[in-house]
Structure formats: structure tokens, C-alpha cells
Amino acid sequence: MKTSISSPPIFSLHLLLLLLLLTVSLPSIQCGDLVDQICKQTPFYDLCISTLRSNSKGTESDVKGLASVVADILLANATDTLNYIRAQINQASDPEMERALAYCAELYIPVVKYNLPQAIEALSKGQFEFASDGLSDAAKEADACEKKFSGSMASPLSDRNKLLHSLSDVAVAIVKILLKG
Ligand SMILES: *[C@@H]1O[C@H](CO)[C@@H](O)[C@H](O)[C@H]1NC(C)=O
């Protein structure tokens, strides 16, 4: 009998502690949920999560903020790839390889100089249709570049082209959410 009398206060103390814990941890749970919710609507969930988690802005943004984080990383990646292609051109001894690399550089230059910077600006202005077009150009050019390598000439850019295509798809998918909303 004694235990049943003393248990209600202990029970409510636990409840109070639980409520307190929930209140303290709720804001961070909600932030994580947005990234998770958004990434589930993209074709590459894991890449989306790791891209957004690697950026400090990725955890405290709204949907538009998340889209621009991915777009910025996409531009950084495309720029890095263009520099890599230029370095490869300088090292190439096979003229056919050199031609293919030069072709890829020609494809990446407008993406890095115009398409992506313009898409990022459009995104900040709320011009989501235009932003989506510019972001998807990166995937198209990465594919066109990859197709230039065939047969005995293995692509030295496969991993980079693939990552760029996937990042572009993720960025476009997030902008599509904005277009619907
Ligand atoms: C390219 O994207 C990947 C995946 O998000 C990221 O880990 C990497 O840091 C990016 N590279 C550059 C140069 O931005």
C-alpha cells in the first residue's frame, strides 16, 4: 500500500523531467527534420544530407537557403573540375585525350562563368524557374563531357562528372519544391 501511495509523485516528477528534456531538444530536432524532409524529396538522399551537413548554413536555413547551399557547392565543384581539366590538358601526351579534355573544358567554362552564377542569383531573387534551368545545365554538360570518352580511352573525369550530375539533380529537386510551394 505504501508504495502505491508514494509512486504518483515520482511518476509526475519523471513526466516533468521528460517534458523539460523535450522542450530543450525540440528546436534542434525541428532543424534536422527540415534537411531530412527536403533530402527525401531528392534523387540522392545520402549526397544531399552529406552536402548540407558539411555546411554550417545547411542546418539553420529555410528551403530556399538549403537550395542555395547546394547550388554554391555545385559551383565550387564545377570550378574545381574545370581547374582539374586544365591541369590534365597540360599533362596529356595523347592528342586524342587532349582533344577530349579540351572539349570538356569548353563545356565547363560557360557553366562556371555564366549558367551557375546566374542560377544562384536568380535563386536569391526568387526566380525559381530560371534558377532550375541553369542548375540543370551542369548535369547536361557533365554528361556531354563524359560521352566524349569511349573505347580504349577511359574517362579521367568519370567520378567528377558523376558527382556533378548528382549534385545538379539534388539542387534542381530542391528548387522544384520551391516552385510547387
Ligand atoms: C564537391 O561536392 C562534394 C559533395 O557535396 C563535397 O564534399 C566537396 O567538398 C565539393 N568539392 C568542392 C571543391 O567544393
- Nearest residue (by CA) to ligand 1, atom 12, is 77
Asked if residue 124 has its Cβ within 6 Å of ligand 1, the reply is: no
CB-based burial label for 150 (10 Å; 0-12, 13-18, 19+): exposed
Per residue in 18-51, pLDDT (tens digit) is 555 555 554 444 555 899 999 999 999 999 999 9
Is the predicted pLDDT of residue 10 greater than 60, yes or no?
no
Q: In the chain, what percentage of residues exceed pLDDT 70?
A: 81
Protein residue whose Cα sits closest to atom 6 of ligand 1: 51
Quote the pLDDT of residue 31: 52
In sequence order, what DSSP letters do the residues of 125-152 get, joined into one string? Answer: TT-HHHHHHHHHHHHHHHHHHHHT--TT
Superfamily of domain covering 9-180: Invertase/pectin methylesterase inhibitor family protein (1.20.140.40)
Q: What average pLDDT does this structure show over 148-156? A: 91
The predicted pLDDT at position 151 comes to 82
Q: Which of 154, 156, 145 is CA-nearest to residue 102?
A: 145
Average pLDDT over residues 116-137: 98
| pLDDT value of position 121 | 98
Q: Ligand 1: which of 39, 44, 45, 51 to mutate, most ligand atoms within 8 Å of CB?
A: 51
Question: Is the predicted pLDDT of residue 133 greater than 70, yes or no?
Answer: yes
pLDDT band at 57 (very low <50, low <70, confident <90, very high): confident
Using CA positions, which residue lies closest to atom 3 of ligand 1? 51
- Answer whether 83 contacts ligand 1 (Cβ < 6 A): no
Nearest CA to ligand 1 atom 4: 51
Task: Quickly list DSSP for 67-115.
Answer: HHHHHHHHHHHHHHHHHHHHHHHHH--SHHHHHHHHHHHHHHHHIIIII
SS3 93: coil
Residue 170's pLDDT is: 98
Cβ proximity of 46 and 37 under 8 Å: no
Residue, of 42 and 57, whose pLDDT is higher: 42
Task: Indicate whether residue 168 lines ligand 1 (CB < 6 A).
Answer: no
How high is the pLDDT of residue 1? Answer: 46
pLDDT class for 87, splitting at 50, 70, 90? Answer: very high
Report the 10 Å Cβ neighbour count for 121: 13
* Structural domain boundaries in the chain: 9-180
Ligand 1 lined by 73 (C-beta under 6 Å): yes
Report residue 25 as a C-alpha cell.
531538444
Quote the mean pLDDT of the chain.
88
